[in-house]
Amino acid sequence: MNRRSIALAAVAVLLIGSAAAVQAQESSWIHVRVNEAEGAKINVNLPMSLVEVAMEMAQDHIFDEDHGIDIGRHHDMELADLRRMWEELRLAGDAEYVSGNDDDEHIRIYRQGDTDFNIWIDNKPQG
Closest approach, Cβ 27 to another protein, in A, equals 9
Please report whether residue 56 would count as binding another protein according to CB under 8 A.
Answer: yes
3-class secondary structure, 49: helix
Nearer to another protein, 65 or 76 (CB): 65
Rg (CA), the chain: 14
Contact 31, 68 (CB under 8 A): no
Please report whether residue 44 would count as binding another protein according to CB under 8 A.
Answer: yes
Distance CA 8, CA 94 (A): 21
Q: Number of helices and strands (H, E) in the chain?
A: 3, 7
Kindly write out the interface string for residues 20-39 of this chain, putting x where it contacts another protein by CB under 8 A and - elsewhere. Answer: -------------------x
Residues at the interface with another protein (CB under 8 A): 1, 39-47, 49-50, 53, 56-57, 60
